[in-house]
Structure 1
Amino acid sequence: MGHIKQTVALKDVKCFALHGYYPEEQWTGNHFIIDLTTEFTPLGFDDELTQTVNYEDLNSIIRTEMKNTQKLLETVLNNIISKVIEIYPFVEKIDVSMKKLNPPMPGQIGHSFVQLSYSATN
């Protein structure tokens, strides 16, 4: 029999936050969309939350880190990864990305995009 991998994710988490490099961005804020995906070898299938990643926890981590104003979106994403690992050390892979809707730049830009990926193995 093969090896089972489990994925638990949240997609399109919408937040308003004050992230941005320039002071104006931190005053006016912006809308963001976050995707967070975790992958791991299942701990078991006994129908208990202790055997998996609880996506309510993932939502709480995202919302908490989005409240902590940062200049760089990369910093926010790195903090999200660190919190997931802290709560769920068995997670083997994490992908987290953020879209900043209508970034304040000349022209019509739908969103900027930043993504970080973590792997417990190289």
Structure 2
Amino acid sequence: MNSKIIIEDLRIYAYHGVLPEEKIIGTWYLVNLEITTDLWNAVESDALSSTLNYAEVNEIIHREMAIPSKLMEHVGGRILNTVYQNYPGITFLKIKITKTNPPMKGEMKGVSIELEKKITRNTSK
């Protein structure tokens, strides 16, 4: 059975980009993270130890977003890898990062990248 935890539109000010001014001025980013994992033990137990602690995941996102990078893809990959390393029961991750004020012509809501990671486990011994 699939069950998910979804962090939606987490707004973080950060300093990512190729242009030098992006690392000085910064801008707002929206982060959406979807985590597929088994939540049914938590359904039965009502215990935090039976689930994925999304407050800790929020801290991971903030920590990784605080490290300036040229590419949002790089930041997104770091977030996915760190979340998975901390919660090996995850079977699927999807992240969308939106730069809300990219330095480009035209009026827009933003520019986004989206990364998906399906975790397959080797069950042979």
Would you call these one fold, judging by a TM-score over 0.5?
A: yes
Contact 2:29 / 2:100 at 8 angstroms: preserved in 1? yes
In structure 2, C-alpha distance between the alignment counterparts of 1:105 and 1:93, rounded to whole Å = 33
In structure 2, C-alpha distance between the alignment counterparts of 1:111 and 1:64, rounded to whole Å = 22
Partner of 1:53, secondary structure, is: coil
Q: CA RMSD in A?
A: 1.4
User: Deviation above 4 Å: which 4+ runs of structure 1?
Assistant: none
In structure 2, C-alpha distance between the alignment counterparts of 1:110 and 1:59, rounded to whole Å = 23
Aligned residues: 119
In structure 2, C-alpha distance between the alignment counterparts of 1:43 and 1:60, rounded to whole Å = 24
Give unpaired runs (5+ residues) of structure 1: none
Q: How does 1:26-105 map to 2 (within 5 A)?
A: 26-42=23-39, 44=41, 45-105=44-104
Alignment partner of 1:17 is 2:14: yes
1:109, distance to aligned residue in structure 2 (A):
2.2
In structure 2, C-alpha distance between the alignment counterparts of 1:79 and 1:29, rounded to whole Å = 19
In structure 2, C-alpha distance between the alignment counterparts of 1:84 and 1:32, rounded to whole Å = 19
Contact 1:102 / 1:108 at 8 angstroms: preserved in 2? no
1:43, distance to aligned residue in structure 2 (A):
6.0
In structure 1, C-alpha distance between the alignment counterparts of 2:61 and 2:112, rounded to whole Å = 16
Identity across matched positions, percent:
29
In structure 1, C-alpha distance between the alignment counterparts of 2:62 and 2:91, rounded to whole Å = 22
Normalised by the length of structure 2, the TM-score is 0.89
Normalised by the length of structure 1, the TM-score is 0.91
